[in-house]
Structure 1
Amino acid sequence: MRAQKCRRNSVITIFNFRRKQAIAKQLILRQRKAPEKELPNRINEKIKGVNEVRLVGDNIETGIYSFDEAMKIADKLELDLVEISPNAAPPVCKIIDYQKFLYHQKKREKEKKANSAKVVVKEIRFGPQTDDHDFNFKLKHAQEFLKEGYKVKAYVFFKGRSILFKNHGETLLARFAQELEDLGKPDQLPQLEGKRMIITLSPKKVK
């Protein structure tokens, strides 16, 4: 029994070892096949076919240097030689910490996207029996909001049995959107959500 158990354990150990070897081999093959991530700029030794460069950067004397001289300066400062204007004659290079530069660039792009995604919505409330004076007063507010680039969410609130006159709210919001057609574009037709009939308008882009 002991001999059989030992043989079984040996077989399991060999199987597990070979399995790990196969997984490791697959990972190595994947790494070899994975394409090298292309950087937006040529840096250091990647700058090929260039004999001299115009060097710029902080605490560096701007001027034309041989490529080897520029690389020596970058090495001495423990920074990167980055080609920023490849089509210039000679190409313009800057000595910077390239990874730090990419990090800040990515951060700025992320912040820019986040800011553009932030949409401010201004709400305007009506009743189903809103008179012309109140309508025009709120219309002026909506015009100002749209001019300033805000979205406008207008709604008619129905209390109790006034929901029976929801067609009044639909007519009012349609008129509201029509009065603002030069400044805003409706995102959808008036919709009833619970006790509110809603329409949302986005500001038109200024040409």
Structure 2
Amino acid sequence: MTAYARIDHLVTSGTFSLDGGVWEVDNNVWLVGDDSEVFVIDAAHDAHAILAAIGDRRLLGIVCTHGHDDHIDAAPEVADATGAPILLHSEDEALWRMRHPDRAPDGQLAEGDVLTVAGTQLRVLHTPGHSPGAVCLYAPTLTAGAPDEDGVPGVGTLFSGDTLFQGGPGATGRSYSSFPTIIASIRDRLLTLPPETVVRTGHGDSTTIGAEAPHLEEWLARGH
């Protein structure tokens, strides 16, 4: 029998701070695993809620899609409570240190890395632009042959962090970001995925690759 991981989803609330500004935000926290083991993708704001969602499962790691403080603020507390490693791309360590100057990540994420949980592989895609070390996680079989969290059969899942949202790319108007870079990442790394791939974002509603791909030229025009 083929094993399938399931996707659990929390929405947590807090603030995002950068370049002297502070904004109220709601973040998606994704948990991928089964009844025995799990990964957390983006430990945002509320360590107690995240730990409750983990329950008595073994936490294999806390995966940071990027180093902005709203995606990493609860990571050390969750790590300390579980003994799980915090994983971040090395190019976002400067952003990480703005929030956690006395606590380094435990391991690095790199293009092509594969994280395995409950018989499911999550492949790391380096997608800079929103930040230099932004990554997405692609699981080509996560929902293949099994219903997704809404009970709708699907083929593959992308956890996109703040790289791709319903309606367009992530923001690039602040330090450490680049609009041409994020467009190249989306065009070359994400829009080449199967159109039915479900995109589970860092904020807001999910979408699909097929729903977003037709708008690439519109996004390019918006950036000029």
| TM superposition score category, shorter chain reference | under 0.3
Q: Which has the larger radius of gyration?
A: 1
Q: TM-score, normalised by structure 2?
A: 0.20
Structure with higher strand content: 2
Structure with higher helix content: 1
Higher relative contact order (CA 8 A, sep 6+): 2
Q: TM-score, normalised by structure 1?
A: 0.22
